[in-house]
Structures are given as structure tokens and as C-alpha cells.
Amino acid sequence: MNGRSILLIVGGGIAAYKACELIRLIRKAGGSVRCVLTAGGAQFITPMTLAALSEQQVHTSLWDLKDEAEMGHIQLSREADLVVVCPATADLLARMAAGIADDLATTLLLATDKKVLAAPAMNVRMWQHEATRRNVARLRADGVTVLEPDEGEMACGEFGPGRLPEPEAIFAAIEAALGGPGPLANRHVIVTAGPTHEPIDPVRVIANRSSGKQGFAIAGALAALGARVTLVAGPVSLDTPPGVERVDVETARQMDEAVRAALPADAAVLVAAVADWRVEPAPAKLKKADGPPQLDWQANPDILAGLDADPRRPRLLIGFAAETQDIEAEAAAKRGRKGCDWILANDVSGDVMGGDSNRIHFIGEDGAEDWETMSKTDVARRLAKRIADALG
């Protein structure tokens, strides 16, 4: 970040105040920030605040005669190393995707030849609306880095994805976009996520309720810290986190093969809820009239224990334990059986599988510690930082 220049576009939303902390982080790391404040952003934060923090003039209008005479929006759009939109509202994302240029911010975004990173913040229903998803997909296809928003309680009282990521996470993404090293630079981490599907016949499978959200969040958090991440994903419908290499599989045996193929790695985080058993699938659909089928159960490969026994074992091996009772005791026993370094246990007797929050019991060589209930995104960031610290 030392000597790098950031053009920060502050959009209109209650989360605009977090842009102040982002400016502080960038400047503390040796970067400079020039701010563009939209009309909506000015409803929540003042130009004086941004100017004081950045120690630079704040730009607000496309029609400022002095600015256009001395610099011009074209020069402003191209002199920075990176353009950051924070917060990026649903309206601002839509105008970016459509190529609209009707104010200073959108004109700069259309005129820039530099990388653009957008940190969304909006109501959960706005984020999940098909129009917003379409706009985000368009922007990503155009090369814009659009971060995934955090999950949690919002100013409007609703809960879900849509919160602006914390400034530290945005700062890490900025470093990654600039090619900065990051604490996990030159590290390779394998992450598994989601369920596995074990076929019974051509139309039926053995499955579970895993959504893949926690594993995908962990993969994204590791990539944001500079790691090269291989995400081995079971059958889920989730967007691939930015900067992550994804391998899609269906069965436990396919997941095991994909994990082994991705070695060597510095760390492996096995979050996927892998089916313990499989059957030899029938070649044709089983008929109800034939009565209950007699299934010949066979054990699936134990991916976590298999990695511990592999001569290419990652330096840090981390497993997850989804339990419904005696959480810590069951997880501690699993850590011993599997030979992994850490186990993250959670109680799945409620709506955790498929939900947006998690409560983790972290078990390592120094014992157990309880993490408070938090969003799966926050769990991912906490774990990613711990992995970075452990790998040094």
C-alpha cells in the first residue's frame, strides 16, 4: 500500500460512516486517498469529515468549473491506482452496470481505465432481488470486483446479507486488488464446502441440509488475505468468491479425489458435510410397487483422516464437526481420531445448516474456547486471521 493512491467514491447509505475508518486504514498503511462524495453520501457524511481524514480536497460535482479547469474528471478517474466504491448502493451498482454517467461518480467510473472494487451495502431484500443479482453478475463479468456483503442485523431491523463488510475486510480486498502481499500471500489453502450427494438410482440421492455458506465464506476470507484458494464444492448454488479457484464435485469419492489432486497445500479446511455412507446405485429407477429397497451400505473415504495420513499432509489441518449433543466432547474425540490440528464444532440441531449465523466451539491443542454467535462471514474472517497467524 505504501505510495499507492486510492480514489474513494462514497455512496449514499447509512454505512457511509465506515468509509472514514477505511480512509484511516489506507493512510496508516502508507497510501493516499482522494474522495468523491455523491449527493446521497452527503446526506450521511460531510465533505469536511472526508477532507480532514484524507488531507485532500473532496470532489462532489461534475459541474465544478475550478475542478474541471485544473484537473478534470478524466484525469481524476485515471490518476489513482484503484477506484473503490464504498458503500456501493443498489442504485449505484445499477447505474454502473448500465454505463450511466449523469454525475461525477458515475462519470468517473465510466471514464476510468483502472481496476474498480465495489463494497455493497443495502437492505437484504434489495441485495437478493433479481435485478441486483443481475447487475452484480454484469459488473463482475466486466471485470469489477464486487465484494460479498456481510450478514447480520441492519439499520432497518431486518437480518441477512446486505451489511457493508467491515473496513478491515475491505482494506484486505484493496490490498489484494493492488497485488499487495497480504498475510497469506504465497500460501495455498484447500477448502471443502457443501454436502455430497450419493446416488441411489438415477433420480434419488442420499444428501444432507448443508448449504455450503460457511465453507464459501471461509474460502472468500482466505482469498481476501492473499491466499491461493482451491474450493472443492459439493452440489450447491452459490456464487464463487472473488479470487477463488472452484472445483465442483457431487460424491464423497469425487471430493476426496479433488482434494488429493489439489495437494500440496499449506492448510486444508474441511468444512463440507460429507456423507459417511454410500450405496451401489441401481441402474434404473427403483419402483414403489417393488417395496422398500434393500440397500447395500458401504463406507465412504474419510477425507480428513486420509489427509492426516498422506505424506503430503498440509502443515495445518482443520476439520468441522456438526453435532446435535455433547458438542465439545464429541468434537474433541473427533480431533483425536482424525489427527487434525483444529476442530471447529457447531450445534446443528437448529437452523444452522442453511442459516446465516453460527456459534463455534474451537478446539485445538491448547483446549477449547467458545466463540459468540456471529454471522458465518464473521466466523470465516476470524478463522482466516487465525490461520494467517498460525502459518506466520
Catalytic residues: 156
CA 16 to chain centre: 21
* 3-class state of residue 215 by DSSP: helix
Instruction: Please state, in angstroms and rounded to a whole number, the distance separating the CA atoms of residues 319 and 287.
Output: 39
Q: Which of 80, 9, 10, 78 is nearest to 43 (CA)?
A: 10
Q: Which of 35, 30, 41 is nearest to 8 (CA)?
A: 35
Instruction: Please state, in angstroms and rounded to a whole number, the distance separating the CA atoms of residues 53 and 214.
Output: 35
Q: Pinpoint the alpha helices (H) of the chain.
A: 18-28, 47-54, 65-70, 73-78, 90-98, 104-111, 124-128, 130-141, 167-177, 213-224, 252-262, 303-309, 327-338, 376-391
Q: Which of 11, 385, 37 is nearest to 225 (CA)?
A: 385
Instruction: Please state, in angstroms and rounded to a whole number, the distance separating the CA atoms of residues 378 and 295.
Output: 41
Q: Extract the C-alpha cell encoding 282.
A: 441401481
DSSP state of 377: H
Instruction: Please state, in angstroms and rounded to a whole number, the distance separating the CA atoms of residues 255 and 220.
Output: 19
